[in-house]
């Protein structure tokens, strides 16, 4: 979906018009991918607009900075408030949130230290990443011919722009061959993740997901789904998983801020389970959407309300609410 090109973007402490939020082509990040970023969402709930797990996203952003020896100009609290300020400035009820911290303009040696560490926060309206139909009916995917980065190469605990060169290869290959997404293996051939989503499998009512050591991003949705699954009484195992477990899984699904909980209906043209979202996937979608739509009490303290006066007391049917339509 193309940008509308309107609204405000936060840049190094000031809200600027969308069209003016530009950087120089000689900025370090343009040439060497020296940026770290976040992708979070603000949802419209009956009690007001609320960011989902904003604190966890901002913490991961600062973790990414630490790994890349970047010292942001502002502290975590200031940037968290800046996110809320940007949403308010744009008067969004619901939106996608993209803070990015990057090495800016000074000189162009590989050494990033001489370049300033700049920050921008973008917000825009972004619907279901893989489409509303994907949330309801699932997606057809392939195992990618590209692996995730080897250990001790590109750190996957950092959400670094550079890591998304690999994600782009996975995504383009999948699209070029008629699939919605690719699932990458790690360099040992174990299951890792999608180009921008973590992966879960279900077999005999037990949930499995690759561990952080399988070259996955430590997804906020992944951790939320683990919590919700355990709340529902399911066993969740984080362990190295062989590729072929995909094909014999009863259910499989992607999770992520953009993809939310998207069922997988086939892998490499092998049907997963009955070829439609299974009961465990549906139960987790229901639990997840109930939280983000503000339909249940926020037991885990995951919602940060954006506008003064919110959360409102009354709980009713949510406008603009998200669901898999069932
Ligand atoms: C490579 C990758 N894995 C997993 C995820 C899911 O992470 P989260 O749930 O924090 O959005 C993302 C999301 O951006 C991603 O880019």
pLDDT in tens, the chain (326 residues): 789 999 999 999 999 999 999 999 999 999 999 999 999 999 999 999 999 999 999 999 999 999 999 999 999 999 999 999 999 999 999 999 999 999 999 999 999 999 999 999 999 998 777 778 899 999 999 999 999 999 999 999 999 999 999 999 999 999 999 999 999 999 999 999 999 999 999 999 999 999 999 999 999 999 999 999 999 999 999 999 999 999 999 999 999 999 999 999 999 999 999 999 999 999 999 999 999 999 999 999 999 999 998 887 654 444 445 555 44
Compute the distance from residue 222 Cα to the ligand 1 centre, in Å.
8
With CA atoms as reference, report the closest residue to 193 among 172, 165, 173, 222. Answer: 222
Q: Given the residues 8, 66, 159, 171, select the one marked as catalytic.
A: 159
Looking at the CA of residue 224, tell me the nearest atom of ligand 1.
Answer: 9
Mutation to probe ligand 1, out of 60, 98, 256, 261 (largest number of atoms < 8 A from CB): 256
Exposed e or buried b per residue across 169-208, where buried means at least 16 C-beta atoms within 10 angstroms of its C-beta:
bbbebbeeeebbbbbbbbeeebbbbbbbbbbbbbeeeebb
Ligand 1 site, residue 193, Cβ cutoff 6 A: yes
Compute the distance from residue 40 Cα to the ligand 1 centre, in Å.
10
Q: Are 164 and 217 in contact (CB under 8 A)?
A: no
Compute the distance from residue 309 Cα to the ligand 1 centre, in Å.
31
Is there a catalytic annotation at residue 286?
no
Kindly state the tokens that stand for 255: 């999770």
Angle between helix axes 220-231 and 279-292 (nearest 10 degrees) is 110
């Amino acid at each position: 979906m193309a940008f509308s090109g309107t609204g405000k973007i936060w840049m190094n402490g000031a809200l600027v018009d969308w069209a003016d939020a530009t950087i120089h082509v000689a900025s370090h990040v343009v040439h060497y991918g020296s940026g770290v970023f976040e992708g979070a969402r603000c949802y419209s709930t009956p009690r007001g607009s609320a960011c989902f797990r904003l604190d966890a996203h901002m913490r991961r952003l600062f973790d990414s900075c630490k790994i890349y020896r970047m010292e942001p100009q502002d502290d975590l609290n200031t940037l968290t408030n800046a996110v809320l300020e940007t949403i308010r400035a744009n008067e969004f009820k619901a939106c996608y949130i993209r803070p990015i911290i990057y090495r800016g303009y000074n000189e162009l040696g590989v050494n990033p230290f001489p370049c300033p560490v700049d920050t921008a926060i973008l917000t825009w309206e972004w619907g279901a990443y893989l489409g509303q139909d994907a949330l309801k009916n699932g997606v057809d995917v392939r195992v990618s011919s590209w692996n995730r980065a080897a250990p001790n190469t590109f750190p996957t605990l950092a959400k670094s722009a550079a890591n998304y060169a690999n994600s782009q290869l996975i995504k383009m290959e999948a699209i070029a061959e008629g699939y919605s997404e690719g699932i990458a293996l790690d360099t040992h051939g174990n299951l890792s993740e999608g180009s921008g989503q973590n992966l879960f499998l279900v077999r005999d009512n037990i949930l499995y997901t690759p561990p952080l050591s399988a070259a996955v991003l430590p997804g906020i949705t992944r951790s939320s789904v683990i919590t919700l699954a355990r709340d529902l009484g399911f066993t969740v195992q984080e362990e190295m998983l062989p590729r072929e477990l995909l094909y014999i899984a009863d259910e499989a699904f992607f999770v992520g801020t953009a993809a939310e909980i998207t069922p997988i209906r086939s892998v490499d043209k092998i049907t997963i389970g009955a070829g439609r979202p299974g009961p465990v996937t549906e139960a987790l979608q229901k639990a997840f959407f109930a939280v983000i739509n503000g339909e249940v009490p926020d037991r885990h303290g995951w919602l940060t309300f954006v506008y003064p006066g919110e959360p409102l007391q009354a709980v009713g049917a949510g406008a603009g609410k998200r669901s898999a339509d069932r």
